[in-house]
Amino acid sequence: MSKRYRIGQIVPSSNTTMETEIPAMLRLREAIRPERFTFHSSRMRMKKVVKEELAAMDAESDRCALELSDARVDVLGYACLVAIMAMGHGYHRVSQKRLTEQTIANDGAAPVLTSAGALVDALRVIGAKRIVVVAPYMVPLTELVVDYIRNEGYDVIAYRALEIPDNLDVGRHDPSRLPDIVKTLPYQDADAIVLSACVQMPSLPAVAQVEAMTGKPVITAAIATTYAMLRELDLEPIVPGAGALLSGAY
């Protein structure tokens, strides 16, 4: 009988993408590997992607970790990159430690990872130093994200802020627009492309096209989170059609 894993996600209340893209990737994996997955979420209130709402939302993450550990999930993913990065340099380590401790205290010990930490770790995995970044946020929040990534040791040579303030509208952004957006960036000089520095902006359908168009590995926050979850579960991090990171090369 195939082993089943429970995937827990801590998501903003207005997020509509992480509960589609991560299951989509793990369903693709199920077609080539025996393991099976179920998906379980807990929500933190957030509507507008502004610093004040992000900080208030992050304060709810402890409750979410407790709720998901009640379900005895096997791994938890904190699915909001900008909320973590808005809290200051290196905050993903603080958050992951604190939320993991919540699950332990609830007798439902499970590793907690964040999409922010997963993204910066994924760049290390593929050996990227120089990157270009696409983000849906307003310019000040995008600059904050870029600064966070730079503080982790990467050279962000260019970025594009799409300036979408409402989180539901971020989830409605058409991924077919992403290849043309990438064309406006000097990707030729980069080691990798961060196609979506946001777990709410849909990007999975465009990843293969952008990799083919640019000849560069493409990372998204959702792909990086899926990779990190599979590694935490000690499963082979391979998903067909989900870009270089999940190709089996790493």
Q: Is the pLDDT of residue 9 over 70?
A: yes
> From the candidates 49, 162, 198, 222, which is the catalytic residue?
198
Q: Is the pLDDT of residue 43 over 80?
A: yes
Please state, in angstroms and rounded to a whole number, the distance separating the CA atoms of residues 231 and 228.
Answer: 5
Please state, in angstroms and rounded to a whole number, the distance separating the CA atoms of residues 184 and 182.
Answer: 5
What are the pLDDT digits (tens) for 175-212? 999 999 999 999 999 999 999 998 889 999 999 999 99
Q: Contact at 8 Å (CB) between 49 and 165? A: yes
> From the candidates 80, 83, 123, 224, which is the catalytic residue?
80
What are the pLDDT digits (tens) for 146-171? 999 999 999 999 999 999 988 889 99
Please list, in sequence order, all residues whose beta carbon lies within 8 angstroms of the beta carbon of residue 247, skipping any fewer than 6 positions away.
Answer: 238
Higher pLDDT, 12 or 203: 203
pLDDT band at 51 (very low <50, low <70, confident <90, very high): low
CA angle 234/237/241 to nearest 5° reads 160
Average pLDDT over residues 1-10: 92
Please list, in sequence order, all residues whose beta carbon lies within 8 angstroms of the beta carbon of residue 124, skipping any fewer than 6 positions away.
Answer: none
Where do we find the tokens 């205290």?
105
Q: In Å, how far from its chain's centre is CA 222?
A: 4
pLDDT band at 49 (very low <50, low <70, confident <90, very high): low
Instruction: Verify whether residue 64 is a known catalytic residue.
Output: no
What are the pLDDT digits (tens) for 62-105? 999 999 999 999 999 998 888 889 889 999 999 999 999 999 99
Alpha helices in the chain (DSSP H): 18-30, 51-58, 61-70, 81-85, 91-105, 115-125, 139-151, 167-171, 178-183, 207-214, 221-232
10 Å Cβ neighbour count for 51?
14
Q: Contact at 8 Å (CB) between 96 and 106? A: no
Please give the mean pLDDT across all residues of the chain.
Answer: 94
What are the pLDDT digits (tens) for 118-132? 999 999 999 999 999
**Distance in angstroms between the alpha carbons of the first and the last residue of the chain:** 28
Give the C-alpha distances (Å, rounded to integers) separating 223 from 24, 52, 93, 202, 242.
Answer: 11, 27, 19, 11, 7
